Chain A
Amino acid sequence: MKATRQGYGDALVELGQENPNVVVLDADLAKSTTSYTFAEKFPKRFIDCGVAEQLMMGVAAGLAASGKIAYTGSFAIFATGRAFEQVRNIIAYSNLNVKLCPSHAGVTVGADGSSHQAIEDISLMRAIPNMKIIVPSDYIEAKTAVKAAAYIEGPIYIRLGRAALPQINADDYKFEFGKALMLRQGKDATIFAVGIMVAAALEAADNLAKEGIDCEVINLRTVKPLDKAAILDSVAKTKRVVTAECHTVVGGVGSAICELLAENIPLPVAMVGIRDRFGQSGSPDELLEHYGLTAKDIEAKVKQLL
């Protein structure tokens, strides 16, 4: 069990060795984001901006405009919320090489409560031209995605989390930007999942199989751009769609799928996600249950469509 944020620190150390242009910034959260591992090895290429996320994005933009590949930490709520306008008006507008990899996205932040739980970050980043979005499902995917981002031109948002997760991808897993990953083939319904909800989707598909319901499970991996061909192919076959995200349903992954389907294969979509509410304190498991983000919730949505 490892958190996706640990994949960030481990990837940075490897990137630091292989690419002298990689610089890492944080905003007084280097221990939480795990960027401290890079700081220890490459102190001259690590910049702690203090508690100043807007400044961090501006400094990252200046570094990127000077030829650096700038990775920024912090928590997702501050990176995408507090510093939204820096990200939009400088980094994305000028297509600068800044990689936003904040941790603590979603309600699995737990006891810190709503102020520290980003549940609208995907919606915010998705609305910005030039921005690309990756939502890793486990440690391995996070680590490989963070490494891959160094070689993809322009700004990228990689959504990382605090909670330790089971490993669902193989040790020799290869991340492919812009490509969805088919995890299980089926004919009755497709479950499109991202992040921590991929494991839940697989569990739901297992449970439904016992009842004779055959689900396809697709880990989207890249939310922007979507792998349109893979999504449309699957939906053309199953004709039933469930989306799953630890994020608000307003403008998130479910919305992105709906936008694509509305223009191509219009059909009802059942969304598992946070229903236009704020988070709150609690343990991650309690919160996932409270906000309807478990395998059981996915199963119920699939059955609703049958």
Chain B
Amino acid sequence: MHSELVEKATKIRQDIIKMIGLAGSGHPGGSLSCADILCALYFKILYVDPKNPKMKNRDRFVLSKGHACPALYAVLAEASFFPREKLWTLRKLGSSLQGHPDLRRTVGIDMSSGSLGLGISTAVGMAMAGKMDGEDHHVYSIIGDGESQEGIIWESAIFAAHHKLDNLIVFLDNNGLQIDGKTCDISSLEPIAQKWEAFGWQTFEVDGHDFNQIIEAADKAKKVKEKPSMIVAHTVKGKGVSFMENKVDWHGVAPNKEQVRQALLELGVSEDELDE
């Protein structure tokens, strides 16, 4: 089932590790946790055209948890929005791949983000614009669970439901960890799906690493009328790299050379390829 997506996601995870390793800084944990959602979006769900990235009726995507942009950049490169070599310039002076997404510098990015909470509010604005213009595209966004402690997330939740923005589909990358520890220990969001439901959203819960579930929920969300949709995706921070999984310390730390090597081996890169 979706073996092609599984293959692509593995490659994306390899790229994430290499990019952050080369940059010497970045956010591997949250990039790895939403990598499968991003693969599903760009390779199965979104209507976009890498050859015509500003196509008027394209679906829009806003990475509200902007620090996970290595995953987004790797996916955009894989989808041919820009050459793959650019990935290795991440976070370097003058690079089109900034530490957080920048719509002016990077082809395929619909909105600058990075300051938590802001992305979803802009996605709401894009969905409003779509409704005003009678267009039928959808606006997608990914928010984090730590990010959901920001007040503007809930301002957006109220407003999007009030305006019946059924063209807005938001994923929650619910990996359970934030910089200072477990989300449930710091300022718990539970019961999170019920909160969104109470705010007037159609909610779905999926395993955020199961492509069938992600795609099926998105298909259902697209058919929802008069309500925005929230897909709560239960994920593992650091997914795919054993020593990063569920470890809070891997939120915003780059792996060193040896750790990069170990991670890539786990992700199926051969010893021969590593030596290159």
Contact = CB atoms under 8 A, between A and B. Distances in A.
B132 A23 contact: yes
Contacts of B155: 52, 54-55
A44 B132 contact: yes
Nearest to B105: A94
Q: Number of contact residues on A: which range applies? A: 20 to 34
A86 B118 contact: yes
B129 A63 contact: yes
Contacts of A54: 121, 151-152, 155
A50 B120 CA distance: 17
B130 A66 contact: yes
A93 interface: yes
A215 to B, nearest CB: 45
Nearest to B56: A67
Interface of chain B, main secondary structure: helix
Interface in A63-99: 63-68, 70, 85-86, 89-90, 93-95
A60 interface: yes
Given A54-B121, A65-B103, A89-B114, A59 B151 contact: no
Contact of B152 (A58, A65, A93): A58
Interface string B80-123: 00000000000000000000001110000011111100101111
Nearest to A95: B104
B158 interface: yes
Interface residues of B, number: 29
Contact of A68 (B103, B111, B113, B129): B129
Interface string A152-164: 0000000000000
Contacts of A208: none
Interface string A94-118: 1100000000000000000000000
B12 interface: no
B126 interface: yes
A49 interface: yes
B54 to A, nearest CB: 10
Interface of B: 102-104, 110-115, 118, 120-130, 132-133, 151-152, 155-156, 158-159
